[in-house]
Amino acid sequence: MKAQLLSNFTPSLMPPEALESIFVQRERFAHRLIHLIRDSVASSAKQQTLLIGPRGIGKTHLVALIYHRVRASSDLEPLLRVAWLREEEWGVGSFLELLLRIFRALNAEYKDAIDIATIDALYTMSPRAAEETAIQLIKTHLAGRTLLLLIENLDDLFLGLGDKGQKHFRSFLQENPILTMLATSQRLFAGVSRQVSPFYGFFRINHLKGLEFTEVIELLTKVAQLRGDKQLEGFITSPSGRARVRAVHHLAGGNHRVYLIFSQFLNRESLDELIQPFMKMLDELTPYYQARMAWLSIQQRRIVEFLCDQRGAVPVKLIAQRGFMTHQTASGQLRELREMGYVNASPVGRGSYYELAEPLMRLCIEVKKNRGEPIRLFIDFLRLWYSPTELEKRLTLLKPDWELERQYLLSALRDVQENPRDPRVSACMKDLKTAVKSKRLPKAVSIAQEVVAIRSDGYSYTLLGMLLGASGRGEEALDAFDKAIKLEPSNRSAWFARGVVLSERGRRSEALHDLDVSLESPSPFRVLALGMKSRLLRLEGRHNEAIDSAETVLKAEPRNATALVEKGLSLMALDRHEEATPLLDAALKVDPNNAQILLNQALLFVTSGNVNKALEALERAIKIEPIAAALHVKAAILFLLGRNREAITVVEEVLLLSPEDSDVLTLQGAMLRIDKDYAGALDSYERALRITPQSAEASFGRAAVICVLDWPRGVIALDAAIMNQHDAFEEIAESAKDILVDMKGAKTSWPEKIRCLSEIFERQNRLPVLATAIVRAIPAHVHEPDFGQWLSVWKEISNGREDLSLAIRLLEASFRYIGEEDERALLELPVEERELLRKVLEEDKDRRAESSISVESKD
């Protein structure tokens, strides 16, 4: 390990490389400060910056870093002089004395910058004359350069200067724009914050924030690297290392210095390695916290002491009561304490709960209060450091004569029994809640992994699984749930959550099993589980069971929207549309802005033929949430209504939302084919097939389009498709019908083509399907002048092919009915054939659309 000077209390003593190497969080800010100094050097505008933050927050580190960076800038050297008034500049009682300190700092920085004899002469003058001469001296020395004055503990300096000194200082600054300041203070103080103070509003004030957890990890990693401590570096990134760092974070409240102190024994495992550094740390920190207490008013000290005695946050009422104060006084004092960084407030309802911002302060004050009995605090610390299992393990390993350690461990274990909440888990859960609230799931997963590292129980694994599931890491989630269930087979939450993830992954029967197990005994998820079960059963086609499950929910919660919808959808699937309608209406009353329910309502309207109402419902749904399924159905309805151009536009919107939806691509293919954009249609079908190679609709759609573009290739594609999808009656029939329709107007080539088609269908034993296609193509051909020839060629082909005889009869009847306007042609047909033909002739458009819209519910 490298020996490196890493000063916990005096960063100004550290070499610049060390300062740079462990600098975190404030790079952008440091850059900005340098920028402001440059700006002050370049013009007569002078920037004055004051950094505010409690001890240990990194003020001196930042100032030292800026100092080194400025001194290392060769371009600034001829234009700037730097005077750094150190932390311990006590005893400055007037502006003149401040000037003398500046001279001293300049002389220390630039050998003999100001003649010592001249400075000595100032002591022989009257204060007023000496001040005037000193001002001239500094101006002469600067000779047009700018002075960068670095001042630490400006509050102390101002206290010494007093009102008079501050006014002299400010007058000097106002009349002589030659000086830029970077100052620090542990708190806002009257000298800058009171409106009547000379320096009110003079500084650009920056409150330095504590470290966030990720920044802590970065800092500790850098510290480990600086020390060459590979073990520590590796430990920090492991889940148990991160959990321990989080425990420190809980204690340190973001204070840089505390992390530096802790970093020295973060990866120590044995008790004896831990106790000594821990106590030493408290010893080092105690004067600091005592000093912080000394700054407070009596009332504020009383509040802080009371909060030290508490182990959690407490309401103002209790603080006021215990401090013998009015509520108003306590609120006022707490507000000041909060502004000074002593306490944190968490709003609860209309009030607030307060706790110490730095739990270490509690520990340090407790040490002093219970002199010689540091058991309580060390027990807390042990509980933060070790899991209950680790505590037990360590107890068994103790040598018989290690009585003190045994006492600590036993007390810690007793505390675990009395108060089983693990403070480390509490710290994790606090951060986890924040991460989930701010939708930072990767961070939440990482914290949950730490919880698992601390406490490998069913609850922790379930929590991790849920977060992994929500992050889309389904397989890892299932793995976590498996572990949770193995550890705690009766953990209903784990069963339920695994059921959810399984259902999301399409493993419905397994999901149903898990949900059933979760329902074996009461759990908070019961209603959710039943709702989900109803949905899965519906998707499995077990509609009656789905209805039963939904009804169980509705008995307990008659206005449960999910159950109302699920029951409605199952009823729809059972063609009980009239029963389904009021259920969906009721669901919408409960949840009027649920786009999914509106979508299903639209489908119900489609089923009952009320297309306009369906479109209205879809518009509402899309307005609430532009879900792809709603747009898909809208496109299909527009297609059905013959509004093909609009439909194409909507389909493009759907594909923006879900570009990999093969059903939508297939629908787009059909639309583009109708629009005679055959190349576009072919592209859509082929994209659909790349996603779902088994799609019959896309295969036959593709074949029909190729038939237009390149007949020989098209026939081969059709032949192959029939072979692969032999049972797809509807898709084959539609494709063949499209091919027949596309022959319209092809003056000479069609007789050959339909002969070729019939050969394929005969060879594939699918002539009945071809017959359906011939009938469906009647409306396209019946008004054509060559319909007579169309009929005679088909009659010729059908010779000896019984499967085509019905189609030929209907062709002949159509010819007579439409071409010769002979009403008898229809009447001579058997009634069922007559109705079939009438339907074909009148409802071709509707039938085509029906084939496009699935009336299955949309999920």
Partner 1 sequence: MKANPGGLLAPDQVVGRDDLIKDLWRILDRQSVVLTAERRMGKTSIIRKMQAELPSKKIAYFRDLERVHRPVEFAEIVFCDVEHALTTLQRGAARARRFLSRLSGAELSGFKFPDVADAHWKVLLTETVADLADAQMVDLAVVFFWDELPWALQNIAATSGERTAMEILDTLRSLRQMHPNLRMVFTGSVGLHHVISELRAKGYGNTPVNDMYPFDVPPLSLDGAMDLATRLLKGEAIKSDNLPQTARLVADSCNNVPFYIQHVVDQLKIRGVPGTSRNIHAIIDGALSDPQDIWDLRHFRQRVDTYYGKNASGVLNLLDIIAAGESALSIGEITNRANSSEELIEEELIRTLLELLECDHYLVRTTNGMLHFRLPLIKQWWRLNRGLLL
Residues near partner 1, by CB under 8 A: 28-29, 32, 35-36, 39, 43-48, 52, 95, 126, 128-129, 132, 164, 167-168, 170-175, 177, 188, 193-196, 198, 200-207, 335, 338-339
Dist CA 262 CA 851 (whole Å): 71
Please report how close the Cβ of residue 128 comes to partner 1 at its closest, in angstroms: 6
Please report how close the Cβ of residue 497 comes to partner 1 at its closest, in angstroms: 36
Q: Which is nearer to partner 1, 39 or 820 (CB)?
A: 39
Question: Is 504 within 8 Å of 477 (Cβ atoms)?
Answer: no
Please give the order of strands across the beta sheet that includes 351-356: 314-315, 351-356, 343-348
Burial of 283: CB neighbours in 10 Å, binned 0-12, 13-18, 19+ = exposed
Dist CA 274 CA 394 (whole Å): 13
Q: Which is nearer to partner 1, 62 or 599 (CB)?
A: 62
- Residue 554 amino acid letter: L
Q: Which is nearer to partner 1, 357 or 452 (CB)?
A: 357
Dist CA 493 CA 463 (whole Å): 9
Q: Which is nearer to partner 1, 186 or 581 (CB)?
A: 186
Please report how close the Cβ of residue 21 comes to partner 1 at its closest, in angstroms: 23
3 state DSSP class of 577: helix
Please report how close the Cβ of residue 339 comes to partner 1 at its closest, in angstroms: 5
3 state DSSP class of 251: helix
Please report how close the Cβ of residue 333 comes to partner 1 at its closest, in angstroms: 14
Please report how close the Cβ of residue 153 comes to partner 1 at its closest, in angstroms: 19
Please report how close the Cβ of residue 178 comes to partner 1 at its closest, in angstroms: 10
Please enumerate in sequence order all residues whose Cβ is within 8 A of that of 271, keeping only pairs 6 or more positions apart, or say none: 394, 405, 408, 409
Please report how close the Cβ of residue 335 comes to partner 1 at its closest, in angstroms: 8
3 state DSSP class of 205: strand
Please report how close the Cβ of residue 137 comes to partner 1 at its closest, in angstroms: 14
Q: Which is nearer to partner 1, 164 or 368 (CB)?
A: 164
Distance of CA 617 to the CA centre of its chain: 32
Q: Which is nearer to partner 1, 44 or 748 (CB)?
A: 44
Please enumerate in sequence order all residues whose Cβ is within 8 A of that of 274, keeping only pairs 6 or more positions apart, or say none: 265, 268, 385
Q: Which is nearer to partner 1, 60 or 166 (CB)?
A: 166
Please report how close the Cβ of residue 73 comes to partner 1 at its closest, in angstroms: 17
Token output for 521: 């005994």
Please report how close the Cβ of residue 402 comes to partner 1 at its closest, in angstroms: 49
State residue 491 phi and psi, 5-degree precision: -75, 95
Q: Which is nearer to partner 1, 97 or 450 (CB)?
A: 97
Dist CA 524 CA 492 (whole Å): 9
Instruction: For the chain, give the number of residues.
Output: 859
Please give the order of strands across the beta sheet that includes 80-85: 80-85, 146-151, 179-185, 48-52, 204-207
SS3 sequence of 593-653: CCHHHHHHHHHHHHHCCCHHHHHHHHHHHHHHCCCHHHHHHHHHHHHHCCCHHHHHHHHHH
Per the DSSP assignment, residues forming a β-bridge with 352 are 347
Question: Is 534 within 8 Å of 550 (Cβ atoms)?
Answer: yes
Please report how close the Cβ of residue 655 comes to partner 1 at its closest, in angstroms: 29
Q: Which is nearer to partner 1, 348 or 398 (CB)?
A: 348
Dist CA 174 CA 179 (whole Å): 10
What is the distance in angstroms between the CA of the first residue and the CA of the last residue of the chain? 60
Burial of 79: CB neighbours in 10 Å, binned 0-12, 13-18, 19+ = middle
Please report how close the Cβ of residue 554 comes to partner 1 at its closest, in angstroms: 40
Q: Which is nearer to partner 1, 207 or 824 (CB)?
A: 207
Q: Which is nearer to partner 1, 175 or 401 (CB)?
A: 175
Dist CA 694 CA 554 (whole Å): 40
- Residue 217 amino acid letter: I
Q: Which is nearer to partner 1, 94 or 699 (CB)?
A: 94
Dist CA 426 CA 247 (whole Å): 9
Burial of 345: CB neighbours in 10 Å, binned 0-12, 13-18, 19+ = middle
Q: Which is nearer to partner 1, 43 or 270 (CB)?
A: 43
Q: Which is nearer to partner 1, 323 or 341 (CB)?
A: 341
Please report how close the Cβ of residue 167 comes to partner 1 at its closest, in angstroms: 4
Distances (CA, A) of 847 to 74, 672, 701: 84, 19, 17
Please report how close the Cβ of residue 14 comes to partner 1 at its closest, in angstroms: 26
Q: Which is nearer to partner 1, 175 or 821 (CB)?
A: 175
Burial of 842: CB neighbours in 10 Å, binned 0-12, 13-18, 19+ = exposed
